[in-house]
Structure 1
Amino acid sequence: MYIATQENLVAFAERAATSSVLAIDTEFLREKTYYAKLCLLQMATDSETVIVDPFGVDDLGVLVGLLEDERIVKLFHAGGQDLEIILREVGVLPKPVFDTQVAAALLGHTQQIGYASLVHAECNVSLKKTDSFTDWSRRPLSDSQLDYAADDVVYLPRLYASMRAALEEKGRLSWLGRDFEDLVDPQRYDTNERTRYKRLKRVSQLSRRQLSAAREVASWRELEAQRRDVPRKWVVTDEQVVEACKREARTIDELFMVRGMSDRLSTRDARAVVSLIASALDAPPDTWPELDRCSKSEPNVDAELDLMCALVRLRAKENGIAFPTLASHDDLARVARGYRDGIDLLRGWRRAIVGEELLELLDGSLALSLSGGELMVRRCGAGVA
């Protein structure tokens, strides 16, 4: 059903209130804007599938009751961007949620499996993807576009039912609680312009003093992009920010030595940027930021990581869990260097499966060996495990 009036949207919300699930997906454009432009909102309940045209309805706020109704499980696949858009457009984050991509990794599927691949694996249905790269803002939409959009939610209730049953059988459904809570944590979708500098391309080329300048320029760029509602790279690119700070540009002439900078910045904006750079460069050293990267004084842990990866690979295979789901490389490296706080690998089910063993491996109370080409695990002074 195609919904392009407020009356029909209200009627759907009333019908959906009796459903046990609400599958959700969005189609949006972001190429020319900072904020994603919502073009379609697809939803499926126990009994129907609808496609909502946000250009036709007056107020998506009528969905708040559905999204916040904890008797209805909201279903997504790789729902991070969808949730961000819903928060911006509707003003709330839905609860409770179930993300089939996250759940799939606990059932032996590859990390970040695509929706079409999961539908094929679980439902034996091959989806047509001819409209995956289309302009969703154009109207009218073709029948093939509408079919494509509907397919993105119509199989989610079936996937949820089968995957939930499989997870319960394996005793793993509760494992996903923290992951799903993190998905609907409002802080996940907060934009902190003061930390944007950490994600600049080639930022590792900068000294701490220059990094101080990059923090200010990247923050200014983020706010400008938001104000204009344009992609941040349309203000200035990552490479231009890094190059300007590497040059320690204190004048407009020095700033415009960076290739393409004079084409992007007005004199007024250029004056603001060089002022930020100069102030940051002259700031006391104790205010300079540091990147979250390995310190030169930290020991090399390649040998430890090799052993840890072998153990994780073994436990991941035994439990039918994708390796990156069980342990990210960043978490392994941090544990190898002695960090223990704020690490997913040392929490909950991940700690139970392999985290505790990794700590034992590092302190020498666990040993790895090969026997007949198979990796064996034993506690020092004990038998093989």
Structure 2
Amino acid sequence: MEYISNQENLDAFVRRATSSSVLAIDTEFLREKTYYAKLCLLQLATDSEVVIVDPFAVDDLLVLVPLMEDPSIMKLFHAGHQDLEILHRELGVLPSPLFDTQVAAALLGHTLQIGYGPLVHSLCGVALKKSDSYTDWSRRPLSPSQLEYAADDVVYLPRMYRIMVERLEAKGRLAWLDNDFAAMADPANYVVDVRQRFKRLKRVGQLSRRQLSAAREVATWREVTAQQRDLPRKWILTDEQVVEACRREARTIDELFMVRGVRERLNTRDARAVVAELTTGLDLPPDQWPELDKALKSEPNVDAQVDLMEALVRQRSKENDIAMQTLAGRSELSLVARGYTDQADVLKGWRRAMVGEELLQLLAGRLALSLGPAGLVVSVVEPQE
């Protein structure tokens, strides 16, 4: 393992890595005090070596871009969404092609979202240390135990990748992952739509549509401000403060400061900006008021349908040695039962072929479930004349 703390050594590693068939990638970062994750360490492993790059010490990480875009090098991750988000921001590109061992593990009978340590133990028979999992990666110098922990996060990825590919090919499932990995490499999935952020406010469902209009404007202002200042959005205003200001329909600074804690968070200039956003949202015509996605709990009860669908999904997941949640969780089955078919992954790609089409047939009354000596029996319902 090599610790890279200057540009010359990073450039040399990039030259060596071009001949590798794989590049395992992991990051260590901090996010508690910033909007954007602060990259503190970058771990990389090829067919033959492991390096730990100190982003505080090198001049230019962009020399890694050709490796990330090289179609002959498979980029390896475990639960890589946050790593990919950071790489996209730091390098301006997303690695491709890529393979995520957590995503792939679900197709080999492992639990959904299995951790890196348990997967390493399962596939490689190695028990990893956990002593530095909550360390401060921004402090320097890093201790030997920190460097060992960081290196462990990539050193086993190439071996696991090869084991998993062999097993997936034996089951005829390797191509099933193409859409999942293509989505992970799509830049559109890492772009924040600031105008939709209001839908994720805590307790936003308490607001009227007119108040939602104000919440959309204030939440947009908060998101943009947090990005510009690189501060956590809750340091600007908390979700609860945004919702309460909108519920009160505050139109003056004095009314805004009636919300607990807002006076301490906002200076006069920011308070004036928030009041302007509130007023803009409240004064929009009704045809421009937003609407939250329809609450499932307010719709007809579909527990009976979901119970039957769940039994079928459990049966197919058992037969195919796939984690049940990988096929479809109960919340997704509720979507299907209520007719939201375009939102359900179980009705797309390989999931549709394995069980999705049967779910639709079951809901249409063209399939029946019964119990036999060997367990669940799925049978076709003959149409009545």
Is TM-score (shorter-chain normalized) higher than 0.5? Answer: yes
Aligned residues: 382
Please show how residues 224-373 of structure 1 align to structure 2 within 5 Å.
224-294=225-295, 298-372=299-373
What RMSD, in angstroms, separates the aligned Cα atoms of the two structures?
A: 1.4
Give the corresponding residue for 2:55: 54
- TM-score, with structure 1 as normaliser: 0.96
Secondary structure of 1:130's partner?
A: coil
Deviations along 1:146-194, one digit per CA (max 9) or x if unpaired, are: 0000000000001101011110001110000000000011011001110
Check whether the contact 2:217–2:280 (CA below 8 A) recurs between aligned residues.
no
- TM-score, with structure 2 as normaliser: 0.96
What are the ranges of 5 or more consecutive residues in structure 1 without an aligned counterpart?
none
Give the corresponding residue for 1:143: 144
What are the ranges of 5 or more consecutive residues in structure 2 without an aligned counterpart?
none
Distance across 2 between alignment mates of 1:173 and 1:255: 56
Give the corresponding residue for 2:20: 19
Distance across 1 between alignment mates of 2:88 and 2:312: 40
Give the corresponding residue for 1:381: 382
How far 1:297 sits from its partner (Å)?
7.3
Identity fraction in percent: 70
Give the corresponding residue for 1:73: 74
Check whether the contact 2:74–2:99 (CA below 8 A) recurs between aligned residues.
yes
How far 1:322 sits from its partner (Å)?
1.4
Give the corresponding residue for 1:105: 106
Distance across 2 between alignment mates of 1:184 and 1:295: 31
Q: Which moved more, 1:287-296 or 1:139-148?
A: 287-296
Q: Which moved more, 1:55-64 or 1:332-341?
A: 332-341
Give the corresponding residue for 2:209: 208
Distance across 2 between alignment mates of 1:275 and 1:165: 59
Q: Which moved more, 1:246-255 or 1:102-111?
A: 246-255
Letter of the 1:334 partner, please give it. Answer: L
Task: Specify whether residues 300 and 197 from structure 1 end up closer, same or farther in structure 2 by C-alpha distance, changes over 3 A only.
Answer: same
Deviations along 1:267-309, one digit per CA (max 9) or x if unpaired, are: 2211211221122122111111112233687432222111111
Secondary structure of 1:290's partner?
A: coil
Letter of the 2:19 partner, please give it. Answer: T
Q: Which moved more, 1:259-268 or 1:279-288?
A: 279-288
Please show how residues 97-246 of structure 1 align to structure 2 within 5 Å.
97-246=98-247
Distance across 1 between alignment mates of 2:275 and 2:214: 9
Secondary structure of 2:111's partner?
A: coil
Distance across 1 between alignment mates of 2:197 and 2:172: 39
How far 1:96 sits from its partner (Å)?
0.3
Check whether the contact 2:335–2:343 (CA below 8 A) recurs between aligned residues.
no
How far 1:342 sits from its partner (Å)?
4.5
Deviations along 1:182-213, one digit per CA (max 9) or x if unpaired, are: 00110110011101111111112222221111
Letter of the 1:96 partner, please give it. Answer: P
Distance across 2 between alignment mates of 1:295 and 1:161: 42
Letter of the 2:241 partner, please give it. Answer: Q
